[in-house]
Structure 1
Amino acid sequence: MSRVLLIDLDDVVRIWAPERDASVERRHGLPPGSIAAAAFGEGSSLRAVVTGRISDAEWRRDIANRLAPLCGTVAEAVVAQWSESAGAVDVEVLEVVRAVRREGWRVGLLTNATNRLEADLARLGLLEELDAVINSSELGLAKPDPEVFRLACQVMDATPEECVFVDDLTENVQAARDVGLRAHLFEGAGPLAEVLGTSPQ
């Protein structure tokens, strides 16, 4: 029986500094939460970028346009500074991934992302840690669409029953379960290791 782990990226394998947004906002006198609202909130182009209808660059230009009423001509500089980081790897989660791969599991990253994903993974040194990268912007669909999970299983050449899916969002976990995957809400590296029956070295 195949053993496959499908794992989410953000807030699971990749973590972001808590002060990332706030430091840029303070530097430019923006109200707290302004960047997140422009990037991810109602009326943003987030769904368009993670389904490949627009590029990462177009999404970031849209963020700047949405911030412009708050900070004028420095909006592009705000977005440029916010975009500099590729985040950081949660080393404890990475050790779990490495442990299951040593035990014969195949690991696929299944993430709602933009076309900047591969560059970010290269910066983070994650490409060699994975057997496959399944990017929603290349599929043209995003989690929690059930078809995403079916396509991910096809990429991994596995049945849903052979796949364990881990994500930090309950709606994605439930959608994966509905398709037949063994899905778990991410609650930290320790619980993840227990779910997978492994002991990182």
Structure 2
Amino acid sequence: MWQEIGDRYGLTASERSALAADFFSGDGFDQDLLSAIQALRPRLRTCLISNAWPGTREFLASAADVFDLLVISAEIGLAKPGPAIYQRALEDLGVGAEAAVFVDDMPANLEAAKSLGMRTVLFNGTRRTIAAVRRAVDST
């Protein structure tokens, strides 16, 4: 993505790097949510599915140890809400859809996951989402 922007606007490599750094400078991770996900790992496999661009894996590097698997759309040519990206994540994790809980803030993505047999949770705030995930996990 940054290469395309640089080409379009005639940016040098250092200008592209500076633009990318500025773009991501305000981004951070929800530490409470990451801690809750990490707490699930002794008994569950965890995966992050992201409709994101090349370079996302590097951006996520500091949080990557929270997840067993990162599925980045730009890396595999699949995207939510298409069913193939969910199926790929399930296959790579070795988990059946009926054993999975999918969290997203987009209803269309939840519907797609639900159509495959996954349980779903709408992200609507960290505390509420963590509580809903715990309920879903405990019901398995």
Q: 2:59 aligns with which of 120, 129, 140?
A: 120
User: Which has the larger Rg?
Assistant: 1
Q: Distance in 1 between matches of 2:32 and 2:21?
A: 28
Given the alignment of the two structures, is residue 154 of structure 1 paired with residue 91 of structure 2, yes or no?
Answer: yes
Residue 127 of structure 1, CA deviation: 1.7
Structure 2 vs 1, CA of residues 126 and 165 (structure 1 numbering), >3 Å: closer, same or farther? same
1:57 Cα shift?
Answer: 2.5
Select 2:32's aligned residue among 78, 88, 92. Answer: 92
Higher helix share: 2
When normalised by structure 2's length, the TM-score is 0.80
- For the residue of structure 2 that corresponds to 1:110, the secondary structure is strand
**2:128 is the alignment partner of 1:188:** no
Aligned-residue offset at 1:79: 4.0
**2:5 is aligned with what amino acid?**
R
- What stretches of structure 1 move > 3 A for 4+ residues in a row? 58-62, 76-82
Report the CA distance shift for 1:81/1:138 in structure 2 as closer, same or farther (over 3 A): closer
Q: TM-score, normalised by structure 1?
A: 0.57
Partners of 1:191 and 1:84 lie apart in 2 by 27
- 5+ unaligned residues in a row in structure 2: which ranges? 136-140
Which of 133, 146, 149 matches 2:70?
133
Distance in 1, Cα, partners of 2:102 & 2:4:
28
Shift of 1:113: 1.1
CA distance in 2 between partners of 1:108 and 1:58 (Å): 28
Of all paired residues, the percent bearing the same amino acid is 29
Equivalents in 2 of 1:154, 1:173: separation in Å? 18
Q: Distance in 1 between matches of 2:78 and 2:123?
A: 22
Structure having greater relative contact order (Cα 8 Å, sep ≥ 6): 1
Q: Does 1:57 align with 2:2?
A: yes
Q: What's the Cα RMSD here?
A: 2.5
CA shift, 1:148, in A, is 1.0
Question: What are the ranges of 5 or more consecutive residues in structure 1 without an aligned counterpart?
Answer: 1-55
In the alignment, the residues of structure 2 paired with residue 86 and residue 60 of structure 1 have an alpha-carbon distance, to the nearest angstrom, of 20
How many residues end up aligned between the 2 structures? 131
